A and B are shown apart, each in its own frame.
Chain A
Amino acid sequence: DAKTTQPPSMDCAEGRAANLPCNHSTISGNEYVYWYRQIHSQGPQYIIHGLKNNETNEMASLIITEDRKSSTLILPHATLRDTAVYYCIVRVGNQGGKLIFGQGTELSVKP
């Protein structure tokens, strides 16, 4: 699975959009980009995933660049409850199996 690079930490003001970047320059054509988050003292929670088209669900939007070497997770209106560590994971789709977590980005949403 391709390696990802994320900034270790970010701040965001409550009510503003949080834009979390992820670099995955070695991504292969059959690899998807997944995002999970882990709120303090809880297990990780799935957010969204995509292959090459932008994706949106009730939690977030995922923007993948045309060359697929990077992506951005967007939380459109961040709340204090969005404070968490966000993990970007790249893996082959439709194969399941283990998730390989990096260090993630610690997002702090401030009032």
Chain B
Amino acid sequence: GAGVSQSPSNKVTEKGKDVELRCDPISGHTALYWYRQSLGQGLEFLIYFQGNSAPDKSGLPSDRFSAERTGGSVSTLTIQRTQQEDSAVYLCASSLTPKEETQYFGPGTRLLVL
């Protein structure tokens, strides 16, 4: 079956611009996660959705970062006024339920801020 998909796969933007990254989780998965991986860094948690609500936003690095999820499915991560340090791979994962142990990851969106 279809896995987690993310779009775009690559995004180049100029400093100061806003970007939107999209995640389509596996159908029926109620939990959705956003992570990011900077060059040479490990994977860093950003935010977690259970249905359309976000019980854990502790990883969002600043108020320029926001995310929403609609219809318990698609999620959008928005970065406003992008900075060069926002350059990273943004990964989305989903799991069948919030307590499900296995998270299934998408291929990521590579964001480059010039």
Contact = CB atoms under 8 A, between A and B. Distances in A.
Nearest to B93: A43
Residue in A93, A94, A97, A102 whose Cβ sees the most chain B Cβ within 10 Å: A97
Given A43-B108, A44-B105, A96 B42 contact: no
Contact of A32 (B35, B56, B100, B101): B101
A40 to B, nearest CB: 11
B114 interface: no
Interface in A50-82: none
Nearest to B55: A97
B59 interface: yes
Interface of A is mostly: loop
Nearest to A99: B103
A26 interface: no
Interface residues of A, number: 23
A95 B33 contact: no
Interface string B36-68: 000000111100100000001001000000000
26 contacts: A41-B107, A43-B4, A43-B107, A43-B108, A44-B103, A45-B105, A46-B103, A46-B104, A94-B99, A94-B101, A96-B97, A96-B99, A96-B101, A97-B48, A97-B56, A97-B98, A98-B45, A98-B48, A98-B56, A99-B33, A99-B43, A99-B103, A101-B35, A101-B42, A101-B44, A104-B42
